[in-house]
């Protein structure tokens, strides 16, 4: 029992969430927005830079700089970091970080007198990291599938067909386009394992939750698959560390954080995992059959399942749960908050007017539909931006606002079918989950209650809970996952949004029309 810190390094910000497991409460929640602090220094917008032809990267040195700023903020606020017993973490999934042979020594000798960014500037064999929004690797996806014996073989081996944003295709592209820099790469990690390495002061392996988003991990054994590595790039086994079991601490925190921020020497570090796997834990989904929705930069619909059920149509992803036993089924949309913001900005509105538009317009939008592909879409696969309006006048701001939210909700229903789960309730998280009108649409489209939580940062909460669980096991207590998550995964009393029968009937009739429109304009 004690205090545990969860850190979530996501697309647009890095968040810290501190819990007190004795008092069973969240005691601090702090975020550093990348654009606010670093847009000039790193040239990013919405946390990323677009490099053309679908390539979307970010800057790993910026993530290190943001980590310092985050911890400094917690310290300045008077949080007693010496009481933190363990740190767990979460990272935007799939993004890859490439380090050279100087990394090990630089991490081991970090001086608390100087910022991370000044000490780590030379450790990268590639100064940018392709992230999950990158859609530039269709060729490499096809090559990897052929390399392992076909699409079905890759699906059976890794739990996933090849996705453009997954790490394996991204690594293959790097090897093909920058062979010299690839040869200089001593270590390839994911965003999660990179931030864990900064905190532990040594290279840390990828956990099975994030490893399953690479197209390189054997989903049955939760180890790297040599067959998949061979199909991806040469000498890859030498550049990856063995998979790090999610629940086993990798060691104490680096002296850097003890000296600079006052952490205790014995504060433990758990392997970090992906943001979606951490959200699974943060929302308390540790038993099969529960389903959640995350409305963030990406929108994701996910469920805890007990069997490694795969998506044969390639619309869904399968990850290992960081709880060590279950799996996570996930459908991921690239057009999440950035698409909602694109509509908000197109009509020069603020979020209050956005919400009012949802209140003023009827469910079903009088038949007006939108396919909201402001950027390339993952599900369904849409390689280039394409916004389609059907019975919808572009000059009607309110109807366009309803159309985008209904499109996102209807799509989440259509593309959840592969999970074969009867969705009887939805747990929601992410920034947009604070908006009750958006959630009302989801409750009516899925015909189930939608539960809201105290924090919209469920990935950071899940990271903190993973730290609590991992630390308590090291003390010899046999705490269960259920006991760990339960006090923190209670929905806010009175905040549940119930479905409304009349609106449910409207969407029941509309879902077929939406699916037809989607099929007409996409290859799916």
Residues found near ligand XUL in the complex (CB under 6 A): 10-11, 92-94, 132, 165, 213, 274-276, 298, 300, 317, 330, 332
**DSSP letter (8 states) at residue 48:** B
Q: Report the residue number, 300 or 456, with the smaller CB distance to ligand XUL.
A: 300
d(CA 44, CA 178): 22
Q: At what angle do helices 436-446 and 351-360 cross, to 10 degrees?
A: 40
Cβ at position 505, least distance to ligand XUL in Å:
32
CA 274, CA 160: separation in Å to the nearest integer?
16
Pairing of strands 84-91, 268-269: parallel
- As a whole number of angstroms, the distance between CA 246 and CA 234 comes to 27
Work out how close the CB of 166 gets to ligand XUL at its nearest, in angstroms, rounded to a whole number: 8
- Looking at the Cβ atoms of 188 and 318, the one nearer to ligand XUL is 318
DSSP labels, 475-489: TT----HHHHHGGG-
Evaluate the omega torsion of the peptide bond into residue 133 and state whether it is cis, within 30 degrees of 0: no
Q: From CA 462, how far away is CA 328, in angstroms rounded?
A: 14
Closest to ligand XUL by CB, 207 vs 275, is 275
User: Whose structure tokens read 């030498």?
Assistant: 238
Quote the least distance from Cβ 10 to ligand XUL, whole Å.
5
> Please, are residues 285 and 292 in contact by the beta-carbon 8 Å criterion?
yes
Q: Would you say 85 or 412 has its CB closer to ligand XUL? A: 412
* 283 DSSP 8-state letter: T
Q: Between 31 and 93, whose beta carbon lies closer to ligand XUL?
A: 93
The least CB distance from residue 90 to ligand XUL, in Å, is 9
Judged by beta carbon, residue 57 or residue 94, the one nearer ligand XUL is 94
Rank residues 300 and 321 by Cβ distance to ligand XUL and give the closer one: 300
Q: Which of 135/276 has CB closer to ligand XUL?
A: 276
Within the chain, what is the greatest distance between any pair of CA atoms? 64
Identity of the residue, 217 or 332, whose beta carbon is nearer to ligand XUL in the bound complex: 332
CB 97 → ligand XUL: shortest distance, Å?
Answer: 15
- Closest separation in Å from C-beta 31 to ligand XUL: 14
Shortest distance (Å) from residue 519 CB to ligand XUL: 23
Nearest-angstrom CA–CA distance, 394 and 362: 17
Return the number of the residue (11 or 125) whose C-beta is nearest ligand XUL. 11
Runs of H (alpha helix) within 77-150: 103-108, 116-120, 138-147
Element (H, E) at 210: helix 208-211
Nearer to ligand XUL, 10 or 129 (CB): 10
Question: Hunting for tokens 């810190």 — which residue is that?
Answer: 5
The number of angstroms, rounded, from the C-alpha of 4 to the middle of its chain's C-alpha atoms is 21
- Residue with smaller CB distance to ligand XUL, 275 or 398: 275
Give dist(CA 248, CA 441) in Å, integer: 40
| Closest approach of ligand XUL to the CB of residue 92, in Å | 3
Residue 19: other Cβ atoms inside 10 A: 28
Q: What value, to the nearest 5°, has the Cα angle with vertex 40 and ends 34 and 45?
A: 50
Cβ of residue 191: shortest distance to ligand XUL, in angstroms?
Answer: 8
CB of residue 434 vs ligand XUL: minimum separation in angstroms? 18
Q: How far is the CB of 73 from ligand XUL (least distance, A)?
A: 22
Tell me the C-alpha distance between 497 and 255, whole Å. Answer: 47
Which CB atom, from 274 or from 322, has the smaller least distance to ligand XUL?
A: 274
Give the integer Cα–Cα distance in Å for 400 and 392. Answer: 7
What minimum distance in Å lies between the beta carbon of 117 and ligand XUL? 22
In angstroms, rounded to a whole number, what is the distance separating the alpha carbons of residues 264 and 252? 9
Shortest separation between residue 500's beta carbon and ligand XUL, angstroms: 29
Asked if 277 contacts 328 with a C-beta cutoff of 8 angstroms, the reply is: yes
What's the number of CA atoms in the CB half-sphere (13 Å) around residue 411?
Answer: 30
> How many other β-carbons are positioned within 10 Å of the β-carbon of residue 330?
28
């Amino acid at each position: 029992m004690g205090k545990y810190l969860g850190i979530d390094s996501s697309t647009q910000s890095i968040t810290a969430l501190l819990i007190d497991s004795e008092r069973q409460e969240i005691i601090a929640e702090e975020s550093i927005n990348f654009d606010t602090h670093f847009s000039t220094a790193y040239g990013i917008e919405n946390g990323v830079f677009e490099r053309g032809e679908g390539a979307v990267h970010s800057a790993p040195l910026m993530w290190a700089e943001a980590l310092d700023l985050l911890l400094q903020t917690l310290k300045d606020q008077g949080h007693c970091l010496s009481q933190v017993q363990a740190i767990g973490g979460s990272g935007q999934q799939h993004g890859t970080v490439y380090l050279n042979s100087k990394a090990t020594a630089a991490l081991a000798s970090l001086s608390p007198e100087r910022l991370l960014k000044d000490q780590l500037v030379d450790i990268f064999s590639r100064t940018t990291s392709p992230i999950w929004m990158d859609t530039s690797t269709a060729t490499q996806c096809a090559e990897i599938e052929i390399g392992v014996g076909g699409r079905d073989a890759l699906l059976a081996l890794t739990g996933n067909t090849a996705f453009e944003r997954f790490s394996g295709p991204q690594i293959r592209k790097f090897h093909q386009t920058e062979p010299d820099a690839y040869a200089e790469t001593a270590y390839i990690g994911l965003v999660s394992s990179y931030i864990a390495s900064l905190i532990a002061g040594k290279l840390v392996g990828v956990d099975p939750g994030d490893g399953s988003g690479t197209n390189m991990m054997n989903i049955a054994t939760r180890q790297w698959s040599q067959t998949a590595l061979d199909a991806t790039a040469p000498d890859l086994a030498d550049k990856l560390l063995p998979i790090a079991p999610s629940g086993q601490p990798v060691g104490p925190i680096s002296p850097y954080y003890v000296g600079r921020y006052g952490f205790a020497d014995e504060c433990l570090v758990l392997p970090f995992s992906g943001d979606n796997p951490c959200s699974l834990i943060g929302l308390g989904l540790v038993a099969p059959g529960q389903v959640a929705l995350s409305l963030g930069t990406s929108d994701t619909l996910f469920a805890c399942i007990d069997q490694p059920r795969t998506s044969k149509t390639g619309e869904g992803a399968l990850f290992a749960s960081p709880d060590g036993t279950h799996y996570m089924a996930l459908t991921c949309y690239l057009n999440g908050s950035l698409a909602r913001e694109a509509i908000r900005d197109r009509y020069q509105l603020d979020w209050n007017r956005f919400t009012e538009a949802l209140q003023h317009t009827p469910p079903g939008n009088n038949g007006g539909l939108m396919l909201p592909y402001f950027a390339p879409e993952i599900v369904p696969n849409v390689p280039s931006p394409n916004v389609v309006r059907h019975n919808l006048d572009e000059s009607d701001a309110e109807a366009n606002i309803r159309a985008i939210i209904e499109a996102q909700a209807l799509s989440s229903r259509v593309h959840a079918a592969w999970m074969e789960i009867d969705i009887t309730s939805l747990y929601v998280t992410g920034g947009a989950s604070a908006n009750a009108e958006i959630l009302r649409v989801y409750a009516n489209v899925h015909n189930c209650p939608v539960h809201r939580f105290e924090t919209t940062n469920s990935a950071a909460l899940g990271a903190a809970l993973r730290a609590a669980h991992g630390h308590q096991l090291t003390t010899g207590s046999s705490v269960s996952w259920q006991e760990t998550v339960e006090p923190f995964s209670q929905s806010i009393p009175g905040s549940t949004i119930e479905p409304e029968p009349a609106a449910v009937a409207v969407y029941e009739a509309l879902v077929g029309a939406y699916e037809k429109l989607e099929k007409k304009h996409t290859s799916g």
